[in-house]
Amino acid sequence: MREQIAYLVQLQGIDDEAGLVRARLSVCANRLKELEVQLSGLSVRLESQQAERRQLQARQKDLTYKIEDANRLSKKAEKRLMEIKTSREYRALQRELEDAKGNIREMEEEVIVCMERSEELDKSIAALSGEHGELEKIYLQEKKDVDAEVAGKEGRLEELTAGREEIAGQMRPQLFQRYQRILIAMSGRAVVAVVSSVCRGCNMNVPPQIYNDLQKGEDLKYCPHCERIIYWKQEDEEDGEED
Ligand SMILES: [Zn+2]
């Protein structure tokens, strides 16, 4: 049984490390994802402002042509005004001219609105582009670091899995299955040390009889409080978590 208990302790050591490695991998993946979300948010804003800027440019160009046409027509009408003979015709044409000029003024005002908004957008687009560029630099650097770390961690995880299988192969199948069950039920901590009578799983004192038996290491013992598999560890071995 002593040997089986040693295997259990090793197994827990491996699972502890694998748990830490997996947690770190998930932190790495989340960090990259977070940056990707920020980057794509900036891209979306940038693209929408650029699209608005293009629309404004097209509208401004369109208005400029229309204003030129309207001015040309007004000039012609002004010339015709000189040649008109009847006052009725004169008044009609004059009204037409005034309408046309009013229309030109409106279009010119719209051009100014377009220009003002374009200036605003240009500033915002420049700021967003800068922000995007900076963030992209950070992302690429971080991705390089994360990719390297992930490769290392995945390699370690493979080693741990191989080590786990090796130990499992040497264990009594029933004991291994029991370990697996407790591991799941106890959120990853199935085997814990008892140091100076205190269970490291639940920090409760184990009864003296169990503690005495535990020190002999002859039978498999469970914590009466948290029901984890327990083993005896000397006080000066504390925090060593040797395997
Ligand atoms: Zn306990």
Query: How many A from CA of 228 to the centre of ligand 1?
Result: 6
117 in the same domain as 26:
yes
- Overall average pLDDT of the 62-91 stretch: 94
Q: Domain end: 170, 186, 201, which one?
A: 170
72 in the same domain as 130:
yes
Q: Residue 113: inside a domain, yes or no?
A: yes
Q: Domain end: 124, 153, 170, which one?
A: 170
Query: How many A from CA of 25 to the centre of ligand 1?
Result: 29
79 in the same domain as 147:
yes
Q: Domain end: 170, 199, 221, which one?
A: 170
Query: How many A from CA of 227 to the centre of ligand 1?
Result: 6
Q: pLDDT over 70 for what percent of the chain?
A: 97
Two tokens, residue 200: 């490291």
Q: pLDDT over 90 for what percent of the chain?
A: 92
Indicate whether 120 pLDDT > 90: yes
H helix count then E strand count, the chain: 4, 4
- Overall average pLDDT of the 181-203 stretch: 96
Number of independent structural domains in the chain: 2
Find the domain containing 233 and state its range.
173-237
Q: Residue 7: inside a domain, yes or no?
A: no
Q: Residue 140: inside a domain, yes or no?
A: yes
For residue 63, give the CATH number of its domain.
1.10.287.1490
195 — phi, psi (to 5°)? -120, 130
Indicate whether 242 pLDDT > 70: no
197 in the same domain as 131:
no
Across the chain, mean pLDDT equals: 94
Instruction: Specify the pTM.
Output: 0.73
122 in the same domain as 152:
yes
**DSSP notation for 205-230:** BPPHHHHHHHHHT-S-EE-TTT--EE
**pLDDT band for position 241 (cuts 50, 70, 90):** very low
130 in the same domain as 21:
yes
Q: Residue 5: inside a domain, yes or no?
A: no
Query: How many A from CA of 190 to the centre of ligand 1?
Result: 10
Q: Residue 8: inside a domain, yes or no?
A: no
**pLDDT band for position 95 (cuts 50, 70, 90):** very high
179 in the same domain as 161:
no
Query: How many A from CA of 223 to the centre of ligand 1?
Result: 5
- Overall average pLDDT of the 63-76 stretch: 96
Query: How many A from CA of 65 to the centre of ligand 1?
Result: 85
DSSP strand E in the chain: where? 191-195, 198-199, 221-222, 229-232
Query: How many A from CA of 201 to the centre of ligand 1?
Result: 5
45 in the same domain as 149:
yes
How many Cβ atoms are within 10 Å of 25's Cβ, its own excluded?
16
Rounded to whole angstroms, the Cα distance separating 168 from 79 reads 104
